[in-house]
Amino acid sequence: MPVIRQLTMPKDANALGTIFGGVILAQIDQAAAIEAHRHHVGRVVTVAMDSIEFKQPVLIGDLVSYFTTTRKVGRTSVTIDVHVWAQRQFAESGDFIPVTDACVTMVAVDEDCKPIPLNRPQKQG
């Protein structure tokens, strides 16, 4: 199941009718944070996001889905893969197309933004 699904609106688009890349990046960041909270209750911040290539444009009226998987759990950080798909013209039940993939590293922090150990132990097996 996607952690986020968003129907794109005209306010998110440029003059050509395609969605701003920054809108998708913001959602990738949020999707990674949601996944990170499976490993930590408390504050998490983004320390790194790998280079991103947009394979196909997202258009007004597309339904964009953000899927996450945990790639690596460290001491204070968790690295997450985010996969973004769009359903073209959702209301018309259009095709699903891959939009982009990202790898995001989130760090658990205290109130002073200092790294702290993740507080949800991994389940064995």
Ligand X SMILES: CC(C)(COP(=O)(O)OP(=O)(O)OC[C@H]1O[C@@H](n2cnc3c(N)ncnc32)[C@H](O)[C@@H]1OP(=O)(O)O)[C@@H](O)C(=O)NCCC(=O)NCCS
Residues that bind ligand X (CB under 6 A): 45-48, 74-77, 105, 107, 109, 113, 115
Of all residues in this chain, which one has the CB nearest to ligand X in the complex?
74
3-state secondary structure of 72: strand
Nearest CA among 49, 59, 74 for reference residue 9: 59
Phi, psi of 77, deg, nearest 5: -125, 160
Q: Which is nearer to ligand X, 16 or 113 (CB)?
A: 113
Residue 85 Cβ vs ligand X, minimum distance, rounded to whole Å: 25
State CA 112 to chain mean position distance: 25
| CB 51 to ligand X: min, Å | 13
End-to-end CA, the chain:
22
63/106 with CB nearer ligand X: 106
From the CB of 45, what's the least distance to ligand X, in Å? 4
